[in-house]
Amino acid sequence: MANTSDTILTVENMSVEFPTLSGVTTAVRDVSFTVGREKIGIIGESGSGKSTSGRAIMRLQPPQAIVKASRMQFEDVDLMKASEEEMRSIRGRRIAMILQDPKYSLNPVMTVGEQISETVILHERATPQEARRRTLAMLERVNIRDPERVFDLYPHEVSGGMGQRIMLSMMLIAQPSLIIADEPTSALDVTVRQQVLSILDDLVVERNIGLIFISHDLNLVRSFCDRVIIMYAGRVVETIAAADLDQAQHPYTRGLLNALPSLDHPKDRLEVLRRDPAWLEN
């Protein structure tokens, strides 16, 4: 783990296809990227295939979807060849996923504390008392002020921001080497978003792991991530360091940037994106 430049995930020429009544729809086409010990953002509009890509890495695509790739390597595991059993041991432990709504990731009939304790018991073979103590400590780590009260809450009783922090506290225990976050803060208010992101930031930096941050929010990805992948209609149109986003070359990226209203560069009229059919070639 000492080497910060080593690669955690390599994806080469990944495609995801959905058979439909009128032929095959390709949701993701020939996508290649690598993730090291860094925060990488995937940006795109709805239907760009960004979430589908994230799910395909976890092998969580819908059953009718067909995933093809010339290579999908996660650390020492070939994700193309891994059995469903191996995938189950990877999901949650070595690759973790955070979704927009934490309610779907938590068991609705178990209290939050029980679910975290379960992870502790599973990973650290701790006694129930020990697990409870560890759980409360983890809840405190993610800036939950009243861990004793939160421990006994059910998922529907916690707010969105609290739910995301609970998801993050589980990751502190499971210690995955890659986190895939799909719009983790889109449903949160600005102030809560800042808190959740800074916990996530600390988690990734301190543990020296990789993060794939899927979002539609350009400003957010630009300020949070190290590198940005821009997707359009299932293709990667550009990969660029977040700091250099202003110098982006691809007209689509430029169009997105110019379409955004900004406090720092006010414009009377926003530029409207002109979609070029040529972007769909290759």
Q: Does 266 bind other proteins (CB under 8 A)?
A: yes
Q: Does 261 bind other proteins (CB under 8 A)?
A: yes
3-state secondary structure of 109: coil
> Binding residue for other proteins (CB under 8 A) from 1, 2, 24, 272?
272
Q: Does 269 bind other proteins (CB under 8 A)?
A: yes
Cβ distance 14 to 69 under 8 Å? yes
For residue 66, the number of C-alpha atoms closer than 13 Å in the C-beta half-sphere is: 9
3-state secondary structure of 149: helix
Q: Does 24 bind other proteins (CB under 8 A)?
A: no
* Region binding other proteins by CB under 8 A among candidate stretches 115-123, 125-133, 149-157, 252-260: 252-260
Nearer to other proteins, 2 or 21 (CB): 21
* Region binding other proteins by CB under 8 A among candidate stretches 65-73, 113-121, 174-182, 257-265: 257-265
What burial class does residue 145 get, using C-beta atoms within 10 Å of its C-beta: 0-12 exposed, 13-18 middle, 19+ buried?
exposed
Identify the CA nearest to 40 among candidates 49, 50, 48.
Answer: 50
Question: Any idea which residue has 């890659």 for tokens?
Answer: 178
Minimum distance of other proteins from residue 271's CB (angstroms) = 7
What's the CA gap between 119 and 140, in Å, rounded?
Answer: 16
Cβ distance 208 to 219 under 8 Å? no
Nearer to other proteins, 149 or 275 (CB): 275
Identify the CA nearest to 17 among candidates 52, 69, 65, 55.
Answer: 65
* Region binding other proteins by CB under 8 A among candidate stretches 55-63, 74-82, 176-184, 215-223: 215-223
Q: Does 249 bind other proteins (CB under 8 A)?
A: no
Q: Judging by DSSP bridges, how do beta strands 71-74 and 9-20 pair with one another?
A: antiparallel
* Region binding other proteins by CB under 8 A among candidate stretches 88-96, 102-110, 122-130, 193-201: 193-201
Minimum distance of other proteins from residue 267's CB (angstroms) = 8
Minimum distance of other proteins from residue 259's CB (angstroms) = 4
Nearer to other proteins, 241 or 270 (CB): 270
- Please give the angle made by the CA atoms of 26, 236 and 52, to the nearest 5 degrees: 50
Sites for other proteins among residues 35-64 (CB under 8 A):
45-46
Q: Does 67 bind other proteins (CB under 8 A)?
A: no
Identify the CA nearest to 4 among candidates 203, 172, 205.
Answer: 205
Residue 165, phi then psi, degrees to nearest 5: -65, -35
> Binding residue for other proteins (CB under 8 A) from 6, 124, 157, 189?
189
Q: Provide the Cα torsion 153, 155, 161, 162; round to 10°.
A: 30
> Binding residue for other proteins (CB under 8 A) from 150, 224, 231, 248?
224
Cβ distance 242 to 221 under 8 Å? yes
Tell me, what DSSP letter sits at residue 184? T
> Binding residue for other proteins (CB under 8 A) from 271, 277, 278, 279?
271
* Region binding other proteins by CB under 8 A among candidate stretches 90-98, 104-112, 131-139, 185-193: 185-193
Residues found near other proteins in the complex (CB under 8 A): 45-46, 189-191, 193-194, 197-198, 201-202, 216-224, 255-256, 259-264, 266-267, 269-273
